[in-house]
Structure 1
Amino acid sequence: MANNPQLIFVNDIKPRKTACRIQVKIIHTWRHFIKDVGESLELILCDANGTKIHASCNKTYISEVGKHVRVGVWRNIDRFSVSGAGGAYRSTDHKYRLAFNGNTKITESAYRDDSMFLNLVDFKSIESGLLNPNFLIDVIGQVQDLGDLETIGCNGGKQRQKLEFTLVDIW
């Protein structure tokens, strides 16, 4: 591995390109749990060109990675693995996804851009049914008909909270 990996954009990531560094903004993070697999930390990252990519790390590395990936900050990241992205309800349309491991190096970046990097879609496009249902989309709307917070039972006896509402177009 090179001491000074080459800085590349997210669009230039390839599965076999290992000596590279990306400069990204942490757009969103969440923890995910899958039975028989365990907990993971999931992230959406975005580069200066606005290209987003999904990244994750398994439970073993959550505490180390988690302290470096605050939402809204820019980071340089190297030593990660790249694999194909697929399935339904994907968080980005990038053809690859990243996995962080014990060798992943996350450092501060001097780059700054306050953009939220949203790709907002109007309600008419959603209602038309022409958007790819495998990808999550960015929307902004106004909440109407806000229901009560309910506690419901889920598989495995877990309790979850549910809030129903109607979102209407504000444009």
Structure 2
Amino acid sequence: MWMFTQGGHLFDSSRPSTLPEVDDVLAVNPSKDTWTIVVKVNRMWVSPCFGGSKLPFSMELVFMDAKGCKIHATVRKSLLYRFQPLITEGRVYQISYFSVGENGGEFRTTMHTYKINFEMHTTVRLATNTLITMSPYSFTPLSDIRFNVLDSSYLTGPVASKNLKRMENWKRELLLIFCKRCSS
């Protein structure tokens, strides 16, 4: 008997595998509805209804697989009761039987072409034997921010603009010190 990993799962070679084939998040597209992915929930939030209703509009999630590929997911209002209690930010899940749509719009949370839509028949199982330890952060070079080389349809965090201001102040201070030394 020996153990080996495949797609982030541990398998015991002495037992027949009961886990379904796991797909890479990068491969997810609308061509089928039988995808099975194993992902970590990097971010999770509830979007409020516009127009004053106290009920949420949807639950939004950002998933990442073991290879670091991220994809956005949406649980619509009518399915919140079913999925919100099952999912916790930071945990790893096996998710199957969801629909896939275009990841369009003015502001996107991931660079993936598609996004996941939870359906009534979507299954969510805690993946207890799987760790996804990759960092969920993607850093953009300051030069790209400074010279507006960013893809403005993709959300960037406030850290970038704060660090750019600090960097500019630091460069100014360094330049002043350098100029004072040169003139002495």
Does TM, normalized by the shorter one, top 0.5?
yes
Residue by residue, what CA displacement relative to the aligned partner does 1:82-130 show, whole Å, maximum 9, x if unpaired?
0111111111111001111211100011210233321012333212101
Judging by fraction of residues, say which structure has more strand: 1
Provide the C-alpha distance between the structure 2 equivalents of 1:71 and 1:167, rounded to a whole number of angstroms.
31
Residue by residue, what CA displacement relative to the aligned partner does 1:49-108 show, whole Å, maximum 9, x if unpaired?
111111001112113211222111110000110011111111111100111121110001
Corresponding residue pairs, total: 147
Question: Aligned letter for 1:168?
Answer: R
- Give the secondary structure class of the aligned counterpart of 1:101: coil
Question: Aligned letter for 1:47?
Answer: D
Moved more, 23-32 or 61-70: 61-70
Shift of 1:141: 6.2
Instruction: Provide closer, same or farther for how the CA distance between residues 139 and 122 of structure 1 changes in structure 2, counting only shifts above 3 A.
Output: farther
Shift of 1:167: 6.2
Correspondence for 2:131: 112
- Aligned with residue 77 of structure 1, among 79, 89, 95: 95
Runs of 4+ in 1 over 3 A off after TM superposition: 34-38, 138-144, 166-170
Correspondence for 2:111: 93
Normalising by structure 2, what TM-score? Answer: 0.70
Question: Aligned letter for 2:132?
Answer: D
**Which blocks of at least 5 consecutive residues in structure 2 are unaligned?**
1-17, 171-184
- Give the secondary structure class of the aligned counterpart of 1:61: helix
Provide the C-alpha distance between the structure 2 equivalents of 1:78 and 1:167, rounded to a whole number of angstroms.
44
RMSD: 2.7
Shift of 1:34: 4.0
> Does residue 1:19 correspond to 2:34, yes or no?
yes
Question: Aligned letter for 1:75?
Answer: Y
**Rg (Cα) greater in structure:** 2
Question: Aligned letter for 1:31?
Answer: V
Identity %: 24
Instruction: Provide closer, same or farther for how the CA distance between residues 99 and 142 of structure 1 changes in structure 2, counting only shifts above 3 A.
Output: closer
Instruction: Provide closer, same or farther for how the CA distance between residues 104 and 23 of structure 1 changes in structure 2, counting only shifts above 3 A.
Output: same
Shift of 1:25: 0.5
Question: Aligned letter for 2:116?
Answer: L
Instruction: Provide closer, same or farther for how the CA distance between residues 115 and 138 of structure 1 changes in structure 2, counting only shifts above 3 A.
Output: farther
Correspondence for 1:147: none
Moved more, 107-116 or 49-58: 107-116
**Which blocks of at least 5 consecutive residues in structure 1 are unaligned?**
145-165
Instruction: Provide closer, same or farther for how the CA distance between residues 91 and 167 of structure 1 changes in structure 2, counting only shifts above 3 A.
Output: farther
> Does residue 1:125 correspond to 2:144, yes or no?
yes
Contact 2:34 2:98 in 1 (8 A): no
Question: Aligned letter for 1:10?
Answer: V
> Does residue 1:136 correspond to 2:134, yes or no?
no
Provide the C-alpha distance between the structure 1 equivalents of 2:57 and 2:158, rounded to a whole number of angstroms.
28
Correspondence for 2:6: none
Q: Within 5 A, what are the aligned runs for 1:40-59?
A: 40-59=58-77
